[in-house]
Amino acid sequence: MTTTTRTGRTRLPRGRARHPGVVPVVSVAVLTFVAVAALQPALLTSGDPTAIQLARALQPPSFAHLLGTDQSGRDLYTRIVYGARESLTIGLGATALAMGIAVLLGFLAGLGGRVVDRLVGAALEVTFAFPVMLLALLLVAVRGPSSTTLIIAVGVGSAPGYARMVRGQVLAVRQEAYVEAACALGHGRARVVAQHVFPNAVRPLLALFTLGIGQSIVWASGLAFLGMGVAPPAAEWGALLEAGRMYITHAWWLEVMPGLAIVLVAVAATSLGRTLQKSLEGADR
């Protein structure tokens, strides 16, 4: 058991494994806060994200403006809270798209026989020749910048990695004794796949999905930071970063705070995903 643990979960940081209680709770708290911000931003702030007050422009963080104000005197905290919806939608959308493509390709490769497996394998090998960011930039160049483009770019870019994992999962589940038993009982192929292979191959993806959201938000904000995202005033976090770049020498908070929001959500999603991964692996053994 110890050896399996060591080889199977090498990516788990040790410190975290010893305190399973605190980190997931903090992660869930961060994600809940952001989810509320996305659904009902008015619950978390009484301000208006577009209220321009030139007299209060570029003020550093204070009690009146927790995270400071931007060049038009708009409250940065309010803008970040209202930006959560756009950022989360892009993150969730891109991850869902990536997972959808991955499940389709993974099952095709895992169940479609040798030739299909080879073909899908070759296609994946080719997409691995592009770093995700570059594939995404190519798509933005072709489609022009918009939220939908960001979702498609990040989703398509990160799908091959997941597809490879799904394929491996399908192949592993196919070897399991319960699948063999179901086949021996004379159940049809479609029924075995639907009842046994699909649920067991897809369950670990739940953890992967959570991990993926963090990564997608980071990538999408990166693209938005390069000026390829949503036009203002839809204040997606990456777009906030991009807007603050001009003021970096005298208003550090405009860059640091939206970035902090991205990092917090990414780290929370990642660590929650790892906790899920660990508990799912534990349930399998």
227 binds another protein (CB under 8 A): yes
| Binding residue (CB under 8 A) for another protein from 118, 143, 189, 191 | 143
DSSP state of 224: I
| Binding residue (CB under 8 A) for another protein from 125, 191, 199, 231 | 125
Show the site string, 197-226: x = touches another protein by CB under 8 A, - = not.
---------------------x--xx--xx
Residue 256: Cβ within 10 Å count: 15
Residue closer to another protein (CB basis): 106 or 229: 229
Residue closer to another protein (CB basis): 170 or 276: 276
15 binds another protein (CB under 8 A): yes
| Binding residue (CB under 8 A) for another protein from 144, 188, 199, 233 | 144
3-state SS, 72-99, equals: CCCEHHHHHHHHHHHHHHHHHHHHHHHH
**Residue 15 is which amino acid?**
G
| Binding residue (CB under 8 A) for another protein from 25, 43, 134, 231 | 134
- Determine the Cα–Cα distance for residues 212 and 182; give it in Å rounded to an integer: 33
Taking the complex as a whole, the smallest distance from the CB of residue 222 to another protein amounts, in Å, to: 6
140 binds another protein (CB under 8 A): yes
| Binding residue (CB under 8 A) for another protein from 31, 37, 108, 139 | 139
Structure tokens at 122: 């070759």
Taking the complex as a whole, the smallest distance from the CB of residue 176 to another protein amounts, in Å, to: 26
Taking the complex as a whole, the smallest distance from the CB of residue 256 to another protein amounts, in Å, to: 7
Structure tokens at 47: 């301000």
13 binds another protein (CB under 8 A): yes
Residue closer to another protein (CB basis): 88 or 202: 88
| Farthest CA pair distance, the chain | 78
Is the Cβ–Cβ distance between 94 and 216 less than 8 Å? yes
- Determine the Cα–Cα distance for residues 130 and 128; give it in Å rounded to an integer: 5
236 binds another protein (CB under 8 A): no
Residue 56: Cβ within 10 Å count: 17
Strand stretches in 129-252, DSSP E: none
Of the candidates 274, 261, 258, 257, which has an alpha carbon nearest to the alpha carbon of residue 212?
A: 274
Q: Which one of 42-50, 58-66, 118-126, 193-201 is the stretch in contact with another protein (CB under 8 A)?
A: 118-126
Is the Cβ–Cβ distance between 81 and 102 less than 8 Å? no
Is the Cβ–Cβ distance between 127 and 160 less than 8 Å? yes
Show the site string, 246-275: x = touches another protein by CB under 8 A, - = not.
--xx--x--xx--xx-xx--xx--x-----
132 binds another protein (CB under 8 A): yes
Residue the block writes with tokens 């911000």: 37
| Binding residue (CB under 8 A) for another protein from 127, 146, 206, 281 | 127
Is the Cβ–Cβ distance between 278 and 12 less than 8 Å? yes
- Determine the Cα–Cα distance for residues 100 and 111; give it in Å rounded to an integer: 16
> Which residues of the chain form contacts with another protein (CB under 8 A)?
6, 10-11, 13-15, 122-123, 125-127, 129-135, 137-144, 218, 221-222, 225-228, 238, 241, 245, 248-249, 252, 255-256, 259-260, 262-263, 266-267, 270
